[in-house]
Amino acid sequence: MSFDNVCKLLAEKYPFDFAKWLLPQAPKTIKVLKTELSIEPIRADFVTFLQTENRILHIEFQTNPQSKPPIPFRELDYSVRLIRTYQVPVTQVVIFLQETNDPIVFTE
């Protein structure tokens, strides 16, 4: 099993711990959402969606900073789909699993 598979498994098995780590406030409730959104699925290394009481935490695990479509485009697309579907704010975090100096990894 590759390490991005392991990260997805961990995020889905321990969603509260990931949300507590990545969000400014610890959620009271959390639910793992399906990773496929309507329309056409976007291909990413591994994606996890966690729903708290008032937001979606979108965690994406990446092994390579370069992808097609580019990561910023994918993040925008996911954000729009999630907001349209769940009508709550979305916090997105991309976790790069290999060391790199690529400028994309320093984008906020």
pLDDT, tens digit (0-9, with 9 covering 90-100), for 60-88: 888 888 888 888 888 898 889 889 888 99
CA 22 remoteness from chain centre: 11
Residue 29 counted as domain residue? no
pTM of the model: 0.65
Token match 């997105």: residue? 92
2 in a domain, yes or no? yes
Residue 3 has pLDDT above 70, yes or no: no
d(CA 95, CA 11): 12
Any domain includes 32: no
Q: How many residues does the chain have?
A: 108
Res. 15 pLDDT band, cuts 50 70 90 = confident
Q: Hunting for tokens 């907001």 — which residue is that?
A: 83
Number of compact structural domains in the chain: 1
- Tokens for 71, please give them: 């990561």
The answer to whether position 37 is within a domain reads: no
For residue 33, being part of any structural domain is answered with no
Q: Per DSSP, what are the bridge partners of residue 30?
A: 52
* Whole-angstrom distance, CA of residue 25 vs CA of residue 23: 5
Range of the structural domain that residue 105 is part of: 1-22+52-108
Buried (b) or exposed (e) across 49-76, using 16+ Cβ within 10 A?
Answer: bbbbeebbbbbbbbeebebeeebeebbe
Evaluate whether residue 38 is within a structural domain. Answer: no
Q: Where are the alpha helices (DSSP H) in 14-70?
A: 15-22
